[in-house]
Amino acid sequence: MRRPLEDVTILAVEQYGAGPWGTVHLADLGARIIKIEDPTSKGDIGRYVPPFQEGEDSLFFETFCHNKESISLQLRSPEGRATFERLVPHADAVFSNLRGDGPAKLKILYDDLKHLNPAIVCASLTGFGMTGPRAAEGGYDYIAQGMAGWMSLTGDPDGPPTKSGLSLVDMSTGYAAALAMMCALWRARRDGEGCDVDVSLFETAFNLDMYVSTWHLSRGWEPIRTRNSSHPSIVPFGNFPTADGWVVIACAKQKFFENLARAIGVEWMLEDERYATMAARLENRDDCTAELEKALSSNTTAHWVKVLAEADVPSGPIYSIAEAAADPQTIARDLIAETEHPVLGTVRQIRSPLRMPGAAEELKPAPKRGEHTRQVLTELAGMDESEINALAEAGAFGDVEV
Which residues are known catalytic residues?
Answer: 170
DSSP code string of 350-393: EPPS---TTS-SSPPPPPPTTTTHHHHHHHTT---HHHHHHHHH
Structural contact between residues 186 and 129, judged by C-beta atoms closer than 8 angstroms: no
Cβ neighbours, 10 Å, residue 125? 31
Q: In terms of Cα–Cα distance, which of 99, 201, 101 is closest to 147? A: 201
Give me the residues paired with residue 93 across strands: 10, 121
Distance CA 12, CA 387 (A): 23
Three-state SS at 97: strand
DSSP conformational letter for 325: H
CA-closest candidate to residue 61, choices 339, 254, 301: 339
Please list the residues that pair with 338 across neighbouring strands. Answer: 348
List residues bridging with 96 in a β-sheet. 13, 124
**Burial class of 216 by CB neighbour count within 10 A (0 to 12, 13 to 18, 19+):** middle
CB atoms within 10 A of CB 254: 12
| Cα angle for residues 374, 120, 76 (degrees, 5° grid) | 55
Among 51, 47, 42, residue whose Cα is nearest residue 62: 47
CA distance 8 to 121: 12
